[in-house]
Amino acid sequence: MNPAGFPEQVRRAWAIAKKDICIYYIKGPVLIFGIFMPVFLFLAFLMGSRQLPLALLVSGLVGMALFFTATAVSPAIFPWEGQAKTLERLASCPITVEAIVFGDMIASTLFGIGITLITVIIGLVLGLSLLHAVTLGAGILLAACCFSAIGMLLAVPPTNTPSNIMMLSSLIKFPLVFISGIFIPLEQMPPWGMALAVCSPLTYFTDLVRYSFTGTNYFPVPGDIAALGMFTVVFTAGTMFLHKRTMPRRM
């Protein structure tokens, strides 16, 4: 992508994002999955863990909502479009692979933020106080970008069979949820658990959400922000590079 063409590539990436939102995200099953799956996981854990504070549980709900929604559809978009032969049409247009990937990331980021705001409202309705709104807003934006990059990274294998990608996605996403301090507070984890938790970007976002609602956290806020920023840059760069290499094998 040359510097002169950058604004035009961004405009085309935004067109890709709008296409993804209309075709893949604004659908009943996707919206229901995005809202109700984290809620049901939250309710199941709430009934079995009544001793945990509500703020801790809602923080986990917010973390799960953003993680699941920002990675819900993006892994399967490339396989779907490859199967329908629309990816070939996109690749033949004057648009770079990076812009196509960036457009898919924009769509999943916006979808994740929108659903997550609903879960934040649920927490406020339940009586929680939002002590650090700016920190929460920054954390949601940064984590949404990070998780959307993860979703696109899961789509790197050059297959046009969506079920293969979704199976791989589930095998990676669910373990990340359970090692990220959502169901077990970080301070209660054994050393081996903490060693795994620090490798997950969801850990740092959940820590930021808890700080926003309770004023307490395990890691310093600048450390959480820096970790999320580092993961975002690494995953985004890796996604762009790998998709550029595997795109010809999808045709």
pLDDT in tens, 173-203: 888 888 888 877 788 888 888 889 999 999 9
20-73 residue pLDDT tens: 888 888 776 666 666 676 667 667 666 655 566 777 778 888 888 899 888 888
Tally the C-alpha atoms within 13 A of residue 112's C-alpha that lie toward its C-beta: 33
Higher pLDDT, 1 or 33: 33
Q: What is the pTM of this model?
A: 0.88
Average pLDDT over residues 141-160: 90
User: How many other β-carbons are positioned within 10 Å of the β-carbon of residue 141?
Assistant: 14
Q: How many CB atoms lie within 10 A of CB 170?
A: 12
More confident site: 85 or 34: 85
pLDDT band of residue 123 (cuts 50, 70, 90) is: confident
Task: Please report the pLDDT score of residue 3 as a whole number.
Answer: 43
**Tokens 């980021």 label which residue?**
109
Q: For 190-237, what is each residue's pLDDT tens digit? A: 888 888 999 999 999 999 999 999 888 889 999 999 999 999 999 999
CA angle, residues 151, 157, 160, in degrees to nearest 5: 95
Report angle CA 208, 65, 142 to the nearest 5 degrees: 45
Instruction: Report the alpha-carbon distance of residue 174 to residue 168 in Å, rounded.
Output: 11
Domain that holds residue 228: 3-250
Write out the two tokens for 89. 């049409």
Range of weakest confidence among 31-40, 147-156, 159-168, 233-242: 31-40
Q: How many domains does the chain have?
A: 1
